Amino acid sequence: MGLVVWTKLALELKLSPRSSGVGVSEDVIREAEASVGCTFSNGYRKFLRRYGSADLAFPVFGLSPCPALGTAWSVVEATRELRADQWPGTEDLYIVSDDGTGNPVGGKADGSFVLCAESHEVVPIGDFDEFLRRALTGEFLG
Query: Which CATH number is 100's domain given?
Result: 3.40.1580.10
Around Cβ 3, how many Cβ atoms within 10 Å? Answer: 8
Write the burial class of residue 79 (CB in 10 Å: 0-12 exposed, 13-18 middle, 19+ buried).
buried
As a whole number of angstroms, the distance between CA 69 and CA 48 comes to 15
Render pLDDT for 72-86 as a digit per residue (tens, 0 to 9).
999 999 999 999 999
Is the residue at 142 inside a domain? no
Q: Is the pLDDT at 142 greater than 60, yes or no?
A: no
- Domain of residue 55 covers 2-137
What residues are paired with 98 via a beta bridge?
104
The tally of domains found in the chain comes to 1
- Residue (of 129, 89, 92, 112) closest to 104 by Cα position: 89
**pLDDT recorded at residue 139:** 80
Q: What is the pLDDT of residues 87-114, one digit of tens each?
A: 888 899 999 999 888 899 999 999 999 9
